[in-house]
Structure 1
């Protein structure tokens, strides 16, 4: 009994520790919040940039190491395999040691392994270093969203998260443009020297100016300074949970399974485009690598327009919150019912204007609707999953990210064979028909989501935990 009383006193004592004034990331000044947001966004952009810059170097790597085109393309695959597996380890580490320690350790290793890519003596070394770049670069992207939610309340997150999303996807789009000019005028190794320079610059800025923002870690540090003991969940338990819960949720939650499959397919198409566009513009239209890289601007402009429209999308969300209720995740979906159609439109448009007999501008502009639909779907579906699963959202997003990375890793490997066998028109049309079959998903979940959620074990547990938290908060206030 005495031990139990002592433990309860310690628990109450730790529960009494709060972050006051400038200690609380949510009360940072606007200048400090935006400086953190910009820094985190730039970190994300650098890793995303690295993920696809290899696509511009595939032909040069093939020539340098006398490897097959498929093996040379594996530089994209191995990066994304590392990128998909890294969060399973680094997510629990960030919950134990905070965001900053993980950022500082992994981003440094990311920079060093890019040095390895630049100096690779053979294709095997390059592929291994690419995997390690993805593995150690992954927390800089996957934990960055958490850093933004640490400092921005839910009512003010739309613009910061839109910038984060834009960085996540504009980085891969602009990398082949830069990489194409590098490979045309100098060695492919300079693709990795450029990433190394960017990564090292961002690392120095992050180390100097980014504060710790994870509130539970800040509370632990404050408790240590005050000499208060607290219980900590075992890292082994957290890693085991991170490995098992996403798999369990993926195979038992229809909402997560179907929407993750949808997002993964679109992500796969994006990375397939990084090898498809050079085929269409260099081999069919006979453009130089640098000029053909500029064709990605169509997708980039679409993504930028979607990111810029986030305040207007937030108004639509606010309207449907009032209409459906504040605890209704389906308020995230109405605009997607319409915008999802832009994906198959863009694909079919690209497919049937890729012929050399049709003006190049039409083929490039086809990327704009794809870019708009891509970003709005990713933002909307991610927000919907977070609202559906609440405290289990991290596991839901982990499952989503793993599947997405697998699709992105595999799709570039068969793009060239698909286009050579089917032609660009029918090859892209196959993707368009699959996207067309998936397009009704936002409509289906908008209308039937509440019934599906009612049968979801993890959603029910989330609601129960929220009720308990509200009751405890009410007791504290009383």
Structure 2
């Protein structure tokens, strides 16, 4: 939605209104002209017909009932069609998250990025010492690796569960409750006396920690306009890659000097601090929730029960949203675009988590390094991710330039314009993997396999951002389900690949990694396929957006 220039005209009961003024709304517009709002309809429940019905509900004040409540600082008038005082965002409404200052928006964006980093960090930090639990509980390496597998499986469950609850209760309550549960269940891992306790606590933490990963994208959409959102989303999307690669670095040194249990204690302290800061600093941003709170406040202040939001006039049951959240991602998964993008992102996510166990084989077993020193080799991956995120403003500007050619003609830019970064970034990953594979001989310098992480990290984020944008533009009303399908698939891939990475590397450093390099090379065809044939594929789809 575009910005609105005029602030609402304050009501004064002593005003002497002329007949011309009587036919104007409090915003200065004609009564026959619907009031425009700054917030978009929230499509998370993904019912296009219902969303369209809600969008048709516009506030047209009734000229026969121009009275307002003195306690109503927003001076809502009675709507001529519904008979209610429709509570919606007014022009330049300071409580609308879209109208917050850029400083406040960036503060919240960085805070949410730190939360996301913490969640991702928790998935990888325990790999800093996998030998300690193995010896303590007298179990195999594969069983200890399940502490990573089960945590990442939890990431795949979150998108199917938490989004509907956030639509019903708001984002803030979901952030605060799930983060608290996740932090609490770090404790059993730190004090576990058997492997079962450790595994169950990791699974529960993973499920609870997945909520922020699921909701942060929505929170950023609440505060940033579409044309401003690219850079903010780049900050957020870098966190899921930076967190895991920083985990082994920090966890390795903790494990070397304090033991594996202290990895959990440090993670508890750090996560606890972030939780407290999130509770204190992250406000509610969900537009529907904020408007409902305003309506309840006005009913309490004025005693007038006519205050309603348009969403209350067309309510959506939580059970209906749950059905959509649980089943529609699987329906969309069979869509060719969703399926192949999910496959590609599964390969990328699998590679990220594969490094957790491939690096220790190459550097600890092959070169005799400590866990802490091996953790340093993840830094080039992080540098690649950061550099890729730094390019986000330029990529966003390039997209807007290409899209302008369509918007100037009154056309909607095709989703395929989102694929240019993907068509470039896809080549960096196999290049990095081949370098890592064939420089990983124990007798060779550490420089080759270490620096190989840079092109991988750079390519990871270019691919991730472009893939998400392409899915959103391709499926519009069903974007939440398309992204949930992708997230579930990639999480299962990341969880599964760690179970056989060590065995694959023991067969051959060179060919074990080369297999993954060839797979990623084959995936390079996917963005080109959709660039040339994506519009035709969408035209035949039941769910895809065909406004090209």
Structure 2 length-normalised TM: 0.80
Q: 2: distance between equivalents of 1:212 and 1:463?
A: 33
**Alignment match of 1:434 (pick from 501, 519, 530):** 519
Please state if 1:348 is matched with 2:434. yes
User: 1:425 offset after TM fit, Å?
Assistant: 0.2
Structure 1 segment 220-369 matched on structure 2, within 5 A? 220-227=292-299, 228-229=307-308, 230-231=312-313, 232-251=315-334, 253-323=335-405, 326-369=412-455
Deviation at residue 323 of structure 1 after TM alignment:
4.4
Give yes or no for contact 1:118–1:193 (8 Å, CA) kept in 2: yes
In 2, Cα distance between equivalents of 1:181 and 1:162? 29
1:15 deviation in Å? 4.7
What SS class does the counterpart of residue 385 from structure 1 fall into?
helix
Alpha-carbon separation, structure 1, partners of 2:159 and 2:117: 17
CA offset at residue 259 of structure 1? 0.6
Contact 2:128–2:372 (CA<8 Å) still a contact in 1? no
2:17 corresponds to 1:17: no
Q: Counterparts of 1:38-187 in structure 2 under 5 Å?
A: 38-187=110-259
- Give the match for residue 394 of structure 1: 480
Distance 1:459 1:293 in 2: 43
Asked if 2 retains the 8 angstrom alpha-carbon contact of 1:113 and 1:129, the reply is yes
Match of 1:446 in 2: 531
Structure-2 residue corresponding to 1:196: 268
Note if contact 2:153-2:206 (Cα within 8 Å) is conserved in structure 1. Answer: yes
**How far has the Cα of 1:339 moved from its partner?**
2.0
Separation (CA, whole Å) in 2 of partners of 1:72 and 1:11: 61
Structure number having the greater helix percentage: 1
Q: 1:420 aligns with which of 467, 485, 506?
A: 506
Q: CA 1:18 to 1:172, structure 2 compared with 1: closer, same or farther past 3 Å?
A: same
Query: Equivalents in 1 of 2:111, 2:489: separation in Å?
Result: 28
Indicate the SS of the match to 1:413.
coil
Is contact 1:341–1:439 with CA below 8 Å preserved after alignment? yes
Please give the alpha-carbon distance, in whole angstroms, between the structure 2 residues aligned to 1:9 and 1:194: 60
2:443 alignment partner, SS class: coil
Partner of 1:394, secondary structure, is helix
Counterpart of 1:4 in structure 2 is none
Aligned mates of 1:165, 1:143 — CA distance in 2: 12
Contact 1:14/1:223, CA 8 A, preserved across alignment: no
Residues of 1 paired with 2:292 and 2:81: CA distance?
13
- Residue 10 of structure 1 deviates from its aligned partner by 8.7
Aligned to 2:541: 456
**CA deviation vs aligned residue, 1:164-212 (integer Å, no higher than 9, x gap):** 1111210100001000101101121111112211111111111112111
- Residue 384 of structure 1 corresponds to 470
Shift of 1:156: 1.1
Q: How many residues align?
A: 454
Give, in angstroms, the shift of residue 18 of structure 1.
2.5
Alpha-carbon distance in 1 for matches of 2:240, 2:83: 41
Asked whether the equivalents of residues 75 and 130 of structure 1 are also in contact (C-alpha less than 8 Å), the reply is: yes
Q: Distance in 2 between matches of 1:279 and 1:153?
A: 46
- Alignment deviations for residues 82-139 of structure 1 (CA, whole Å, 9 cap, x no partner): 1211221111000110000001100111110111211111111000000011100111
Q: 1:316, 1:335 within 8 Å by CA — same for their partners in 2? A: no
Change (3 A) 1:359 1:393: same
Return the alpha-carbon distance in structure 2 between the equivalents of residues 131 and 9 of structure 1.
Answer: 53
1:54: Cα distance to partner? 2.0
Q: Report the Cα offset of residue 63 of structure 1.
A: 1.2
Tell me, in whole angstroms, the C-alpha distance in 2 between the residues paired with 1:83 and 1:339.
Answer: 25
Q: Is the 8 A contact 2:345 2:464 kept in 1?
A: yes
Alignment correspondent of 2:285 = 213
The answer to whether the Cα contact below 8 Å between 2:381 and 2:454 also exists between their aligned partners in 1 is yes
Q: Distance in 2 between matches of 1:355 and 1:56?
A: 23
Following TM superposition, by how much is the alpha carbon of 1:405 offset from its aligned partner in structure 2, in angstroms?
0.5
In structure 1, C-alpha distance between the alignment counterparts of 2:531 and 2:197, rounded to whole Å: 48
Question: TM-score, structure 1 length as denominator?
Answer: 0.92
Q: 1:446 to 1:123 in 2, by over 3 A?
A: same
Which residue in the other structure is 1:472 paired with? Answer: none
How far the C-alpha of 1:16 sits from its partner, in A, is: 5.0
Based on CA coordinates, which of the two structures has the bigger radius of gyration? 2
- CA 98–353 in structure 1, closer or farther in 2 if over 3 Å, else same: same
| Separation (CA, whole Å) in 2 of partners of 1:54 and 1:84 | 19
Q: CA deviation at 1:225?
A: 2.2
Structure 1 unaligned residues grouped into runs of 5+: 1-7, 465-478
CA shift, 1:62, in A, is 0.6
CA distance in 1, matches of 2:421, 2:282: 35
* In 2, Cα distance between equivalents of 1:16 and 1:222: 7
